Chains A and B, each alone.
Chain A
Amino acid sequence: MQFIQNRKYSFIFSTILIILGLISIFVQGFKLGIDFEGGSLLRFKMDAAVSSAEVRSTIEEFKFIDQASIQKSGNEFLIRTRELNQEQTEQINKAFAAKFKNVEYLSAESVGATMGSELTRNAVLSVLIAMLLMLVYISFRFEWTFGVAAVVALFHNVLIVLGIFSIFQWELDGAFIAAILTIVGYSINDTIVIFDRIRENLRLKTRDDLTTLLNKSIMQTMNRSVNTVLTVLFPLVTLYLFGGSTIKIFVLTMLIGFVVGAYSSIFIASPLYYDIKQRA
């Protein structure tokens, strides 16, 4: 297979994906969960006969509620409001218990806006530091050209996943950060194995030119690349299909991320290494 010769197509494909994502990020931004934006999220189980409108009219009787979004799925109700304090949460609990049947409180979360910005800062900062240290390690064990290619491919993966979240307006919550971290971890592991083979073939000093050598290295590790991504996808697919409802989006993020990670290791990272190497 001519991965290197055809890199134009994968670069174009990725660029389109990233640009679409960036446009969406700039135009409509992200749907931020309370973990990032602050606010309260209450989850109740109630008689399925209760309508969202009834729930809305009940909570809007409280003066402290100015804006609330209510989602109903089956007999579960998800209520998102601005940050409520403890007394206010309790008042809502009581009002529901008095008015509706079979009310069961599932969860209540309140996050101050400062916590949200801290979480974002912490996550971004630690991922950047981690990337920097990985760059140093790869440069030390391989060569700086490999390090740059691997880290750029990582950025590419994260950007694509962020873009998809913006395009589909899926909600970003605390678990999203964990999913992104998992994607970073998987992608780097996946890429290093291919780079390792390239390094090995470079040491063999065959008469192959760099293009052939890279294509060969990718093909030699292809079985492994495919099998590895398949095996990690198994638990994710079963978790997505049968796991608890609260982790669906979380698992979906990882599913997308792992596929993107496997794609970029082959079609982005190695060709990028080629381009960087040619220019270095």
Chain B
Amino acid sequence: MQKNFSVAVILAIIVALGALTYFAYHPILKNLNLGLDLRGGLHVVLEAQEKEGQKISADTINKAVGILRNRVDKLGVSEPLIYPQGERRVVVELAGIDDPEEAVNIIKNTAQLEFWDESGKVLVTGKHLKEAQARASGEGQGFEVAIDFDREGAKLFADATTANVNKPLMIVIDGKVISAPTVSGPITDGSARITGNFTAKEAENLAVLLRSGALPVSFKILEKRTVGPTLGSDSLSKSVKAGIAGLIAILIFMLGYYRLPGFIADISIVLYSILVLGTMTLFGAVLTLPGIAAFVLSIGMAVDANIIIYERIKEELRWGKTLKAAIEAGFNRAFWTIFDANLTTLIAAFVLLYFGSGPIKGFAVTLSIGIIASMLVVLTFTRYLLVLSADLSKNHKLYGV
């Protein structure tokens, strides 16, 4: 009776887990945030450059983050990560874009638009901009950007053009003169165009920059990594296959060496993998190359926990205990071993999570999730299955003794 019940429960768990794997596989694979080292994209660290008489505050940086987000949104990137780091840095991470080099151009420019008179005096700035659109140039060659000023800007621009009839008015972006058309007459309707022999793309990018507004401070690129889609996806698909092959090798080894409990370990490891990757997907954590290392380590630790328990059970069986008693005792004695070993590593993971940056952080996130999931699975799920399995057969050979 008891045996039939246990068999039924174990079968039900296997079917449920099979279904879970089947249904979770694609959503996880689709929604898991892969770092740019794995699927291509862009990682830029910018540092604000203090100019004389300008103080960089948290507010300045937050403003810059907002403007950068605006710009990036217009690139159509699905999940941009833009966040301040320290007191004067901003990190921009865009994964899965086709032309990361192009995106750098959108990000790095301050996009401070100014109109100068001949003497270099600033007459109007981009602060008063309402709209900017790229369009084909009226002269039939190249592209230009049409801009509209707000009310105040329109007035300033009207004054500027009135004062400079038949003189050049310089269009300056980030301190660089783009073009210097001669003013033919006062422009009072608040519209202007920025000419400069742009290509369609250049004009479109400039329009995006002007629309999103200028950064409150200029930034210098401290670190830039762009990975084209080919390298990312190529190394990813190979590594995923290799990783799965390694995982299968572990499953086979456990089954061959530990027999029945090995089979239970295998079920646990499958559940464990889904749990870790699922949690990462839910939290929107980013899986990077260092993250994969942490995943390998945490799988190793999960398997280790199983091994510790089974070796204990084997010892207890050799001492002559009954199967049920051996499982009970083996588990209880293994508990603190697993607890201490995992907690010591978890302490390290938390320290790295707190102090680390870049590759260190990616590692720590996955490792922390991995260790917690491993303890949960092994100490509850595996334990329950093992106790059930004791009803299946009293044959100690199934436990490798």
User: Contacts of B214 on A, CB cut-off 8 Å?
Assistant: none
**Do residues B348 and A134 form an inter-chain contact, with CB atoms below 8 A?**
yes
Closest A residue to B295 using CB positions: A235
User: What are 30 residue pairs bridging A and B, where the CB atoms are less than 8 Å apart in the complex?
Assistant: A89-B101, A93-B101, A104-B230, A106-B230, A107-B226, A109-B226, A110-B221, A115-B45, A133-B351, A134-B344, A174-B358, A177-B360, A181-B363, A185-B294, A185-B297, A185-B349, A189-B301, A189-B304, A189-B344, A193-B308, A196-B337, A224-B304, A227-B307, A230-B253, A231-B303, A232-B296, A232-B303, A239-B242, A245-B235, A247-B235
Do A105 and B293 form a contact, CB below 8 Å, given A175-B359, A196-B337?
no
A107 and B341: CB pair below 8 A? Answer: no
Residues of A80-97 contacting chain B, CB below 8 A: 85-86, 89-90, 93
Mask, B328-361, CB within 8 Å of A = 1, is 0000010011001111110111011011111110
Pick the contact of B238 from A193, A197, A244 — CB < 8 Å? A244
Q: Give which listed residue, A109, A122, A223, contacts B356 with CB less than 8 A.
A: A122
Are B300 and A228 interface neighbours, CB within 8 A? yes
Could you give, for residues 89-123 of chain A, a 1 whenever the CB lies within 8 Å of some chain B CB and a 0 otherwise?
A: 11001000000000011111111101100010011
Are B239 and A243 closer than 8 Å at their CB atoms?
A: yes
Does B243 interact with chain A (Cβ within 8 Å)? yes
B347 and A130 form a contact (CB under 8 A): yes
Chain A 42-81 interface 0/1 with B at a Cβ cutoff of 8 Å (1 = within): 0101000000000000000000000000000000000000
Which one of A90, A127, A188, A242 lies within 8 Å of B241 (CB-CB)? A242
From B227, B231, B294, B308, residue with most partner A Cβ within 10 Å? B231
If A133-B351, A192-B341, A228-B303 are given as contacts, then 12 extra A-B residue pairs at C-beta distance below 8 Å, sorted by A number, are A106-B231, A112-B221, A137-B343, A174-B358, A175-B293, A178-B294, A182-B296, A185-B345, A185-B348, A192-B344, A238-B249, A250-B293
Dominant secondary structure of chain B at its interface with chain A: helix
Q: Binary interface profile of B, 291-326, with partner A (CB < 8 Å = 1, else 0)?
A: 011101101110110011001000100000000000
Main SS class of interface, A: helix
Contact count band on B = 35 or more
Cα A266 to Cα B115 in complex, Å, equals: 74
Given contacts A115-B223, A231-B250, contact A177 B359 (CB under 8 A): yes
> Closest chain A residue to B294 by CB distance?
A182
